Structure 1
């Protein structure tokens, strides 16, 4: 990869510092690296473009692709910054008008702090054992009651049951369950230690309380998917708030 991406934290914000020449051949690996940043569910992702040179402008589409994913899940604000220069000029084109770009890190942080809302969230570490699915249902119920979302108790409980059961049955690693309340969605996510994609299950019986797998998640969620992380993956789902 001709472009380098160094990621470091600034409190609850992640900063991805890009340097080198951006080419079309960099699109896939850079996209995966930035998606791994989103999998950490930071409060914000800042992308430093000041050290990047654009050799093939079509490769800039990588940033709008990552922005679209962030809008689906986990709702993380993405802000780019670069002083005046060729990169800034290229990103001022109409095709990138939705990509927030600022002249400096300070300007990006000032904008973020002006508009940031505290994101309520609940996290729970779970063992890869059968009882974890039941505990996940309890956590989802508690979260929905705490955030005054009674209509989402049933779908949220069913979704986290299946996400956790998928880890227990297939990944068999420690996992982290996280529920986050966004302005338009209730986000549900389970991080595990396996890089293998989640396994869709076919129900053995239509009235079974579990085992319906990701088919059920697909029916209940507004949207869902999975992202790679540095040490495994995150499977996520979003429920629209009523």
Structure 2
């Protein structure tokens, strides 16, 4: 008899470590995927998934990790590391079919890879008060990020997207705001985190003085955008395409 699927989540020096136990099949994959996405919403430095105590129905369930890895690359730019799988599982995950995901022999080895820079995502972040000057400061941060990472073509789009997201947070959340930029190979991520649980809803830009009009603009400029609840509010994110 196989053990039922379960997992634990542990915070470890800015990382999230998810230890998966029991039998993982196609029926259980959506639940684990949701749990991993919730971890990403907290924007850890890295997401380490330990599989030493996991059993797999067949290799079709590995597509779960591919999907979460792709989502993590789009937002929030958090690297996902597979740790301590059985040798045959490690071999399968390292093949092109599954995108050659980073696989490490142990959680400790995965931590070391993050610590010594083998797995790193350049980022810029700051905390802002919900005042009018926050929008200007966030816009300057966007410009700094683009110039630092040699993305001059994104200065305008990133500044505009950031302005709209921070403006919404100032107006509707009224809490401390965290603004963060992350540089990935194909995307520039803009993340705005606040203490409100209210869902950001895009509105018709033709509606006069209607909240949410800025999100319509964000949806037109960004490659993709979205939001997720966090433990103490929400995070709204946008991904801008980096020109090869």
Question: What range is the shorter-chain TM-score in?
Answer: 0.7 to 0.9
1:141 aligns to what? 143
Task: Classify the secondary structure of the residue corresponding to 2:101.
Answer: coil
3-state DSSP class of the match of 1:152? helix
SS at match of 1:29: helix
1:15 and 2:20 correspond: no
Which residue of 59, 77, 80 maps to 2:79? 77
Question: How many pairs were matched up?
Answer: 239
Structure 2's unaligned 5+ residue stretches are none
CA RMSD of superposed structures (Å): 3.3
Contact between 2:114 and 2:120, CA under 8 Å: does it hold in 1?
no
Distance of 1:213 and 1:225 partners within structure 2: 13
Give secondary structure in 1 for the equivalent of 2:20: strand
Distance 1:169 1:204 in 2: 19
In 1, are the aligned partners of 2:94 and 2:101 still within 8 Å (CA)? no
Maintained 8 Å contact 2:50/2:85: no
Aligned to 1:122: 124
Residue equivalent to 1:68: 70
Structure 1: 5+ residue stretches without partners: none
CA apart distance, 1:119: 3.7
**Aligned equivalents of 1:91, 1:151: Cα separation in 2:** 36
- Residue in 2 that maps onto 1:223: 224
Distance 1:201 1:131 in 2: 25
Match of 2:205 in 1: 203
1:45-60 pair list within 5 angstroms:
45-55=47-57, 58-60=60-62
Over 3 Å counting, the alpha-carbon distance change for 1:132 and 1:109 in structure 2 is: closer
1:98 aligns with 2:100: yes
| 1:46–1:27 CA distance, 2 compared to 1 (3 A) | same
What CA distance in whole angstroms lies between the structure 2 residues aligned with 1:195 and 1:28?
A: 24
Distance 1:197 1:102 in 2: 37
Q: Cα distance 1:221–1:94, how it changes in 2: closer, same or farther (>3 A)? A: closer
CA distance in 1, matches of 2:232, 2:5: 22
Partner deviation per Cα, 1:6-51 (whole Å, 9 max, x = no partner): 2223434332111233244433332222112223333322110112
Cα drift, residue 66 of structure 1: 0.5
| Offset of residue 160 of structure 1 | 0.8
Instruction: For residue 118 of structure 1, report the CA deviation from its aligned partner.
Output: 4.9
Q: Normalization by structure 2: what TM-score? A: 0.78
Which residue of structure 2 lines up, in the alignment, with residue 36 of structure 1? 38
Contact 1:166 1:199 (8 Å CA) reproduced? no
